[in-house]
Amino acid sequence: MTTAAIIVAAGRGMRAGGGVPKQWRSLAGRRVADWTIERFRGQVDHIVLVLSDEDTPAWEEFRESDLILASGGSDRSSSVRSGLTALEGLGVQHVLIHDVARPCVSKRIIQDVLAALETHQAVAPGLVVTDALWVGQDDAVTGTQDRNGLYAAQTPQGFHHDAIAAAHAVHSGGAADDVGVARAAGLEVCIVPGDADNLKITRPEDFARAERIMGTDMDVRLGNGYDVHRFGDGDHVILCGVKVPHDRGLQGHSDADVGMHAVTDAIYGALAQGDIGQHFPPSDPQWKGAASEIFLRHAVEMAGHMGYRISNVDCTLVCEYPKIGPHAAAMRAEMAHIMGLSEDQVSVKATTSERLGFTGRSEGIASLATACLVKA
């Protein structure tokens, strides 16, 4: 099942203050849009970011990222249609449509909506209204409103791609959200439980509340990894998934990718789940000569199953030769691809040991890595 998320970020709303659209304002050290995008990484196959044509810096920044960019329209509906059009030809069956101003959306809500799409054409999270509702005018209560059966709407709202695309194609406009578009086309919308913390930033005080939510729910873990492989016969080495020509190879039970092994162990360490040897014993012949990306993908999947997302990894290769610099960019790109991260979340660098020790004598290569995991 191919899935996608459309993050609508073309609005120009200034009610939240700061002099710029709220999605580009800072929140807990990052921009609102950065937090929102991060919530969907690893949860869906494709992410579409719908941007205003006025946001030139954002277009330039994200053009080289793994995001699909789409141009926003004059209203929300036209922006969503643009995002849906950007997904054509990718075989997407299920799509989530989310407000960029909801950076605190939980992994639970995203997964609940995706799960419900297995049996429903349209799904949306909603909060049961529990407070008494008043009707007012000129700062005075003029009446009450029955709250029975009322829900506060949230996003992401999920749909079968073809169904919501067809609904938008014939909609005349003016709907408050995509649920309105879907219902106008006759689609039944299933409600899944929302979350009070999934607030939509609208007013200046909402930034403080969002930071409090992020602070209370922050579970950050660090893990370290270390690995060593000796040189042997060969004409290349595999480092961080990249084949590097060399007059010797590295020896090991698998492909001896010392960098990828260290990063894998760092992730396992952050999860308190042992090391590669426990999950892929060298005594097991099926792993002889295996590509190390098998181990790394397993560690990343385990992090996701345990409710963690990888914030960043940092890998240092220690060797005299081969020279790592010319290949570092390719290594970052390959590691990012395997882990489902952006390249700015992956660091690969190298150092020598000043000709001291086994690395200094060019007997092998060592690697140290750190991984930072955050509860999703």
pLDDT tens, position by position, 327-349: 999 999 999 999 999 999 999 99
Characterize 101-114 residue by residue with b for buried, 16 or more Cβ atoms within 10 angstroms of its Cβ, and e for exposed.
bbbbbbbebbebbb
Q: Check if CATH label 3.50.50.60 holds for domain 220-375.
A: no
**Short-list 172, 164, 173, 75, CA closest to 120:** 164
Please give the pLDDT value at position 16. Answer: 54
Rg (CA), the chain: 24
Those residues whose C-beta lies under 8 Å from the C-beta of residue 283, and which sit 6 or more positions away, are none
Domain boundaries, the chain: 3-216, 220-375
Are the C-beta atoms of residues 370 and 224 closer than 8 Å to each other?
yes
If phi > 0 it is left, if psi is from -120 to 50 it is alpha, else beta; for residue 325 that is alpha
Architecture of domain 3-216: Alpha-Beta Complex (3.90)
Please give the pLDDT value at position 175. Answer: 86
Q: What is the pLDDT of residues 44-73, one digit of tens each?
A: 999 999 999 999 999 999 998 999 999 998
Give me 166's structure tokens: 């067809």
Give me 307's structure tokens: 């409710």
pTM of the predicted model as reported, rounded to 2 decimal places: 0.62
What does the alpha-carbon distance between residue 156 and residue 97 come to, in Å, rounded to a whole number?
Answer: 5
Q: What is the pLDDT of residues 172-201, one digit of tens each?
A: 878 889 999 999 999 999 999 999 999 999
Q: Mean per-residue pLDDT for 69-89?
A: 94
Please give the pLDDT value at position 12. Answer: 73
| Summary count for the chain: helices (H), strands (E) | 12, 19
What does the alpha-carbon distance between residue 5 and residue 42 come to, in Å, rounded to a whole number?
Answer: 11
In which residue are the tokens 């799409």 written?
117
